[in-house]
Amino acid sequence: MLLWVGLGNPEPQMARQRHNIGFMALDVIAQTHRFTPWRPRFKGLVAEGTIGGEKIIGLKPLTYMNDSGASVQAAAAFYKLAPETITAFHDELDLVPGKVRVKRGGGAAGHNGLRSMDRHLGTPDYWRVRLGIGHPGDKARVHGHVLGDFAKVDRDWLIALLDAVADAAPLLAGGKPEDFMTRIALLTQETK
């Protein structure tokens, strides 16, 4: 059993923000792979499904980004899941828009959702699917960029990216992060 966590903020007016790309990715994965409907649980919304023969618990914490770890820890404790079975899908400033990197462990790099997960889980030793949103170029503009909505010009690459993440999800579920990244790169190269 794997726990896939989309990081984001729960308010409807925040739904299109760059910071919510983790929620967006999990929504498309759940829809594509016909997960159960989302229901309230663990201070978040949960949907269940099977991808590549693996049972996946999808979780969208409703605790706001800064306390995402409370929801993740509650779900992990209930299912008795080790950190290496948890994957966080989140926005990444240090990757160009549409680029994806997967890694296990590491620092939070200023990401409050990851920082909260590290604190609540007691370890940074979980998987991260880093979804590139690009950097605004000036540190003073980061806050507004992250909490800003995706622009119309972003629509094509964003939809292609989210569809590719869902398409390649069986590779991630099967423990093949390199193949997952390669498949996404192939599927999205036309929209870059």
Q: Which residues are catalytic?
A: 19
Provide the 8-state DSSP code for 98. T
Angle at 27 between CA 133 and CA 53, to 5 degrees: 110
Distance CA 96, CA 75 (A): 31
Strand order in the sheet with 127-132: 39-41, 44-51, 54-61, 2-6, 86-92, 127-132, 100-104
Distance CA 144, CA 82 (A): 35
Work out whether the CA dihedral 27, 29, 31, 37 comes out positive or negative: negative
Which contacts (CB < 8 Å, 24+ apart) does range 106-115 have?
A: 112/65, 112/66, 112/68, 113/7, 113/22, 113/65, 113/66, 113/68, 113/69, 113/88, 114/7, 114/88, 114/90
